[in-house]
Structure 1
Amino acid sequence: MCQWGLSRCWTVCAAHGEGGRMPQSDAPQAPSADACDGPVPLPAPSRTGGGAPARGPGQGPGGGRSPYRRLFEPKGAAAFTAGNLLARLPMGMFSVSAVIMIAGSRGSYALAGAVTATGLAVTALVAPWTARLVDRHGQARIAVPAAALAALGSLALLLCVHLGAPDWTLFAAYAATATTPNTGGMSRARWAHLHQGDAAAQHTANAFEQAADELCFMLGPVLAAFLCSAFFPEAGTLTGVVLLLTGVLIFAAQRSTEPPVAAHPTRARSPLRTAGMVPLLAVFLATGAVFGALEVTTLAYLDGPAAGGLLALQAAGSCVAGLLYGSVRPARSVPGRLTGCLAAMTALMTLPLLASRTGSATVLAAALLFAGAATAPTMVTGMTLIQRLTPRDSLNEGMTLAVTAILGGIAAGSATSGRLVEEAGAAAGYALPVAAAALALLLSPAARRGTRPGSRSVRP
């Protein structure tokens, strides 16, 4: 069960809106009635200043053009997106490949799970520091060497497994992969830079990135399992390394879209000290528990290859919902929107619980498809709020903190649901995602209080 839960973690880092399953919006905002814009509104850039052109009264986003077409109009946007998707796909491959490779060689899924869990824990510690370096020195200067170091860690793991090295070397090698850059967060930062002052375009960008997270979650584990079984156990890891390095190099080469670094950087205040940030991270922690509990319970409920297909259906529902959500004009109050999305998630998570009582895999598949519909809108809205709370010169760090919170939630949800399933049965495990979603909903008002006008939640 571990490999599926951890594969979800890695794709969230890209977290997903995450991201995965995680997610972006922000950059200087135009004056708005949005409660989270804060007391110091900034003027929107003019057409000559490189920002989005003003829209007349009653004119829809993009003046009738497709919001996704308008999103990719800036030069270089398509190129950095292509590189980012190549670099993000391995996030769903590495943990699955590692589990198959280690378990096949050492005959122990417990060892394989412990190695990948250790890598996740180290990532939670290292990722914010890597993101801080990106904020201070630029994406290209940090992402390329960080990806190279992570690739060396994956190759070292492969060699240790192949050569029969002691078990402790597996932990050390996989821990080195924690430097993998958060390409999903860097991509969202680029969208915020390219469409600064255009809240509608940034909303569409967040939705597109969340859909990309879900797509990688669906394809990554399947691709890894196919490569490892059709060719040789190390094939998934080798392919992931090639995709990661190629994607990061293509992404970093698009310098025209890279957010600029301050000419005279100062010691930025940690985003954790921003009002409303800690309660919002608690919401992300509880939301991550929804993901982890749902995956482990589904794997235990079906106990076979079909479970992977059902998880892919849940991700597909989230992917479609994210794309649709990005094509419409959202409500103006982002904190209020987040509460609404969490309420919808809580309600929809009851569907798998009810479906599990029928004993029908078909009914459960439909329930998971609909349950996924609230995931992407929730993550898109949460990441939008993270961006608005985070100081401009710490944007990558702020988003990575959100991803770290989701990772912690996934780990906690996976572990708790595993114990619940063993003691009370697989069907009972579906109660945990409902409880975790309800907890996130209860925590959301605390995050809203920190984003009211007059709070110190806006960027300096």
Structure 2
Amino acid sequence: MPNPYREIFKARGAKGFAAAGFVARMPMAMAPIGIVAMLSQTHGEYWLAGAVSATYALANAFVAPQISRLVDRLGQARIVVPTTVISVLAFVVLVAAANQDWPIWTLFVSALLAAAMPSIPAMVRARWTELFRDRPEMNTAFAFESAADELVYIAGASLSVGLSVALFPEAGMLASTLFLAFGSTAFILQRSTEPRVRPVDQGSRGSAIRLRPVQIITLALIFIGATFATTEVSTVAITKELGQPGAASLVIGVYALGSFVVGIIIGALNLKTPLQIQLAIAIAIIALTTLPLLVADTVPLLALAVFVSGVAISPTFITAFGLIERRVPEAMLTEGVTWVMTGIGIGMALGSFAAGWVVDAFGAQSGFLVSVAAGAIALVIVLLGMRSLATADCDTSACDAAAVPAE
């Protein structure tokens, strides 16, 4: 049996844009924590570091879909070049402001401007879609991208913090900025695989978030994002309470490992089950596997429970993005994918806040109650939306019917 991952990389240009896209997306994980690591050392105030990082992360979550909408309308190169330049320059100013002790407002303004960073994962997936639309290889390509996202979040955050602590406070942010600049440049220079701009027809007008499937999947993934952000926060709190704070990074790494391994396996299979059913099953597994976390009161038990709770994350993302590819007009694909990623980011921010509050109020183990609640809500959302998610593949007439704002 041929290796499905080897097969997708036989496509002309696939290795190049996948490698460049991997490098260019490193700031997704490096920048938010890099800002915290930098400012906490240069200014000694965690509230300031957290506020500037949150300003960047939330602004990017809301700006990125608008940038992706322009990408769909005008093409990747025409939009990515100016937005990346703005983002790189803003990050440089942010680093300089931290190093030179410029006024506090310069930190927030530069963080806001840095949020112009485009969604590289969405554009990489758009290129895979251009290569393998309506072919079995699409599932494998999306599985590879979900695994790549996992690796970025595993390696990026650790690299950013490690550089800042080992070298100098700004080192993590400088590395993140260089990854963005060089990775994006290499990505955009590969014009042969850039998706062609589709004409905007009646079914492709307005924003992708007006489409019911995008609304359902984005809302569900807000709560999925909350489950794994909550798991990370609660893990840190429990390991500290158990007197083994150093075990937190190992446990969190095991969490991502479970998702990575299962995602790779799923990508190698050509499953015939409808994607909306696969999504419901994956989210049901996430919801169910949050329950053992409530009784994991030792580090080994916690590591095991966290590993199990992470196994369905990549399959959830694979099927969610696969549904977006099938339920959104071609002229709105990049924006549709970006909205889903925005949902994940918002969920992580809200989950971290909620888990932190619960831990402070009720104890470390109670933080996992947020995961349980979020997983259950995500499952209810998908089950209630199954009819819309099962709509026939999105041609113009189908999307006209779907493009009705939610009441």
TM range (shorter): over 0.9
**Distance change >3 Å, CA 174–CA 425, structure 1 → 2:** same
Q: Percent identity?
A: 36
**In the alignment, is residue 79 of structure 1 matched against residue 20 of structure 2?**
no
The partner residue of 1:330 within 253, 261, 271 is 271
Query: CA shift at 1:306, angstroms?
Result: 2.6
Q: How many residues align?
A: 393
Matched, 1:285 2:222: yes
* Match of residue 313 from structure 1: 254
Residue of structure 2 equivalent to 1:3: none
Determine the structure 1 residue equivalent to 2:281.
340
Q: Report matched runs for 1:231-380 at 5 Å.
A: 231-262=167-198, 268-303=205-240, 304-355=245-296, 358=297, 360-380=298-318
Deviations 1:22-55 (A, max 9, x none): xxxxxxxxxxxxxxxxxxxxxxxxxxxxxxxxxx
**Superposed CA offset, 1:103-162 (max 9, x none):** 111111111001111112211221111101111111122112211211111111111111
Aligned-partner SS, 1:179: coil
In structure 2, the residue matched to 1:415 is 353
Matched to 1:435, the amino acid is A
Give the 3-state SS of the residue equivalent to 1:373 in structure 2.
coil
Which of the pair has the greater relative contact order for Cα pairs under 8 Å at 6+ separation? 1
Structure 2, unmatched stretches of 5+, are: 401-407
Give the TM-score, by structure 1 length.
Answer: 0.82
Match of 2:86 among 136, 149, 154: 149
**SS of equivalent to 2:25:** helix
2:142 equivalent in structure 1: 206
Verify the 8 A CA contact 2:8 2:140 in the aligned structure 1.
yes
Q: Return closer, same or farther for 1:401/1:349 CA change in 2, 3 Å cut-off.
A: same
The whole-number CA distance in structure 1 between the counterparts of 2:40 and 2:113 is: 20
Pick from 324, 338, 345: which aligns with 1:386?
324
Deviations 1:162-215 (A, max 9, x none): 1111212111111111111111111111111101220x2111111110000110
Q: Which has the higher helix share?
A: 2
Conservation of the 8 A alpha-carbon contact between 1:275 and 1:456 = no
Taking the aligned partners of 1:203 and 1:405, their CA distance within structure 2 comes to: 21
Report if aligned partners of 2:226, 2:350 keep a CA contact under 8 Å in 1.
Answer: yes
Matched residues in 2 for 1:456 and 1:201: separation? 19
Give the corresponding residue for 1:106: 43
Distance 2:173 2:38 in 1: 9
Once residues 217 and 354 of structure 1 are traced to their aligned partners in structure 2, the CA distance between those partners, rounded to angstroms, is: 27
Per the TM alignment, residue 95 of structure 1 is displaced from its structure 2 partner at its CA by 1.6
Asked if structure 2 preserves the Cα contact closer than 8 Å seen for 1:136 and 1:265, the reply is no
Could you tell me how far 1:368 is from its partner in structure 2? 1.3
Please give the TM-score of this superposition, normalised by the length of structure 2: 0.92
How far is 1:265 from its partner? 7.6
The one-letter code matched in structure 1 to 2:373 is A
Shift in alpha-carbon separation, 1:392–1:256, aligned structure 2, 3 A: same
Work out whether residues 87 and 245 of structure 1, in 8 Å CA contact, stay in contact via their aligned partners in 2.
yes
RMSD of aligned Cα (Å): 1.8
Whole-angstrom distance in 2 between the partners of 1:78 and 1:89:
17
Q: Does 1:220 align with 2:161?
A: no
Distance in structure 2 (CA, Å) of the matches to 1:177 and 1:297: 30
Indicate conservation of the 8 Å contact 1:348/1:374, yes or no: no
